[in-house]
């Protein structure tokens, strides 16, 4: 570091819900929501990250909040580029310093055009060399698996916009499944459910809060209760209603089942030798979605294999991407 260090190497987990930045030699320096607030008329950015999230769903008419990523891919290129630029600016120690290398993870299920967009956004944000890595590979490295071994490991990264499942061996992805279902889908299912069954209109961030507090994939003992504020559709005015964890479980049943079904599909396509390794080592869950209560147990019951939630699942991908950045030569086989 210091004044004379004029280049920085960065690793970025550009997620649908959260963006994390890792600086070589320093570790994780930023972890903020992937959201931008801008002025509707002149498109100037007012805030990014946490500050912009505070404004979400309560914006006056001249301010708009945008989440530039949808299902793991860039949906609004200009805003995504601005967001990356501004988030990097927040953590750069030295404004003179240039970004030399940037390693960014991308979902496995993305097209060449979508990859190009990530690469271009990183270059426009100032990176001279951009490297891409598959998100489940980064997750596997981040939780400390030795991905170069001739042994199969299964990682399930449940993010906000995607669930990525991969069986990894010898530094490569042998089989994978990627579905555009993640935590956001659970929130949306809750909004629908409470509207239909309780005449209660809630915002998606309220749904997310409820999910984190009382959401579960399996029965809870005891079941939980929560007071929820929303707009009562019968009278049209704000109201508080009591809801139960059983309600929430029912609301998210379908997308949760889709995640389990994707894990099963991936296992069915896994070569037997690698399947035997997974039987022994179990399945590792990462990503914020893996924090849903009982999700590991629910998947375990469906597949009859050991299932573990990784330690600190929300930072697994950026830690893995950072590890690759620290040893680009050693990990050259995992870069795409």
Residues that bind Mg ion (CB under 5 A): 15, 159
Give the pairing of strands 225-232 and 200-201: antiparallel
152 binds, among ligand ATP, Mg ion, none (CB under 5 to 8 A by kind): none
CA distances from 157 to 49, 184, 252 (A): 22, 14, 18
As measured in angstroms, the least distance from the Cβ of 157 to ligand ATP is 6
Question: What residues are paired with 64 via a beta bridge?
Answer: 38
Among positions 126, 288, 294, 320, the unique one binding ligand ATP when judged by CB under 6 A: 288
**Interface mask toward ligand ATP for 212-251; x: CB under 6 A:** x--x------------------------------------
Q: Binders of ligand ATP: how many residues, by CB under 6 A?
A: 22
Preceding amide of 117 cis, omega within 30: no
Closer of 247 and 323 to Mg ion (Cβ): 323
- List the one residue from 8, 184, 245, 270 that touches ligand ATP (CB under 6 A): 184
Regarding 109 and contact with ligand ATP (CB under 6 A), the answer is no
User: Which tokens sit at 17?
Assistant: 């819900």
**Gap between the Cα atoms of 87 and 97, Å rounded:** 15
Q: Any contact of residue 315 with ligand ATP (CB under 6 A)?
A: no
159, 255, 320, 322: which one contacts ligand ATP (CB under 6 A)? Answer: 159
Determine which residue in the list 132, 139, 156, 292 makes contact with ligand ATP, applying CB under 6 A: 292
Q: How far is the CB of 225 from ligand ATP (least distance, A)?
A: 17
**Near ligand ATP in 185-204, by CB under 6 A:** none
Does 320 sit near ligand ATP (CB under 6 A)?
Answer: no
Q: How far is CA 192 from the centre of its chain?
A: 22
Which CB sits closer to ligand ATP, 16 or 245?
Answer: 16
With contacts defined by CB under 6 A, name the span among 15-23, 36-44, 90-98, 119-127 that binds ligand ATP. 15-23
Binding to ligand ATP by residue 108, rule CB under 6 A? Answer: no
Residue 290 Cβ vs ligand ATP, minimum distance, rounded to whole Å: 8
**What is the token pair recorded at 211?**
């999910």
What would the DSSP string read from start to end of 194-261? Answer: HHHHH-EE--HHHHHHHHHHH-BSS--SS--EEEEEEEETTT-SEEEEEEEHHHHHHHHHHHHHHHHH
DSSP 27: E
- Exposed, middle or buried by CB within 10 Å (0-12, 13-18, 19+), for 86? middle
Structure tokens at 78: 């200009």
φ, ψ for residue 84, nearest 5 deg: -60, -45
Q: Which residues, in sequence order, are CB contacts of 136 under 8 Å at separation 6+?
A: 108, 155, 156, 157, 164, 165, 166, 168, 173, 176
49 sits near ligand ATP (criterion: CB under 6 A)? no
Q: Which residues, listed in sequence order, are joined to residue 9 by a DSSP beta bridge?
A: 101
For Mg ion, the closer CB: 12 or 202: 12
Residues 65-94: x where in contact with ligand ATP by CB under 6 A, - otherwise, as a string: -------x----------------------
Pick between residue 53 and residue 274 the one whose CB is nearest to ligand ATP.
53
> Toward Mg ion, which CB reaches closer, 245 or 290?
290
Task: Please name which of 97, 95, 83, 101 lies closest in space to residue 10, comparing C-alpha atoms.
Answer: 101
Q: Rounded CA gap, 141 and 129, in Å?
A: 21
Q: Work out whether 142 is an interface residue with ligand ATP (CB under 6 A).
A: no
- Nearer to ligand ATP by Cβ, of 135 and 323: the residue is 135
- Interaction partner, residue 108 (ligand ATP, Mg ion, none; CB < 5-8 Å by kind): none
Distance CA 307, CA 297 (A): 7
Residues found near ligand ATP in the complex (CB under 6 A): 15-18, 72, 159-162, 182-184, 208, 211-212, 215, 287-289, 291-292, 314
């Amino acid at each position: 570091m210091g004044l004379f260090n004029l280049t920085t190497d960065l690793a970025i987990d550009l997620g649908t819900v959260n963006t994390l930045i890792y600086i070589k030699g320093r570790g994780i320096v930023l972890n903020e929501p992937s959201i931008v607030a801008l002025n509707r008329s002149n498109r100037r950015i007012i805030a990014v990250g946490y500050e912009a999230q505070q404004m979400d769903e309560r914006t006056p008419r001249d301010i708009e909040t945008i989440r530039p990523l949808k299902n793991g891919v860039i949906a609004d290129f200009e805003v995504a580029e601005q967001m990356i630029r501004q988030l990097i600016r927040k953590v750069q120690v030295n404004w003179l310093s240039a970004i030399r290398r940037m390693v960014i993870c991308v979902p496995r299920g993305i097209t060449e055009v979508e990859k190009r967009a990530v690469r271009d956004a990183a270059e426009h944000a100032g990176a001279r060399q951009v490297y891409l890595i598959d998100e489940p590979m980064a997750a596997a490295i981040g939780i400390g698996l030795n991905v170069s071994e001739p042994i199969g490991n299964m990682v399930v990264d449940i993010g906000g916009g995607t669930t990525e499942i991969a069986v990894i061996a010898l530094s490569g992805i042998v089989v994978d499944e990627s579905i555009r279902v993640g935590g956001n889908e659970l929130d949306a299912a809750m909004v629908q459910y409470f509207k239909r069954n309780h005449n209660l209109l809630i915002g998606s961030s309220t749904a997310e809060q409820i999910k984190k507090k009382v959401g579960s994939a399996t029965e809870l003992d005891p079941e939980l209760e929560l007071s929820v504020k929303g707009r009562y559709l019968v009278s049209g005015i704000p109201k508080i209603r009591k809801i139960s964890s059983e309600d929430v479980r029912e609301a998210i049943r379908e997308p949760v089942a889709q995640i389990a079904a994707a894990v099963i599909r991936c296992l069915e396509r896994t070569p037997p030798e690698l399947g035997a390794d997974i039987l022994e080592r179990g399945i590792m869950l990462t990503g914020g979605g893996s924090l849903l209560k009982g999700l590991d147990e629910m998947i375990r019951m469906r597949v009859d294999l050991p299932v573990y939630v990784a330690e600190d699942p929300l930072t697994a991908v950026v830690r893995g991407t950072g590890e690759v950045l620290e040893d680009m030569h050693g990990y050259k086989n995992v870069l795409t």
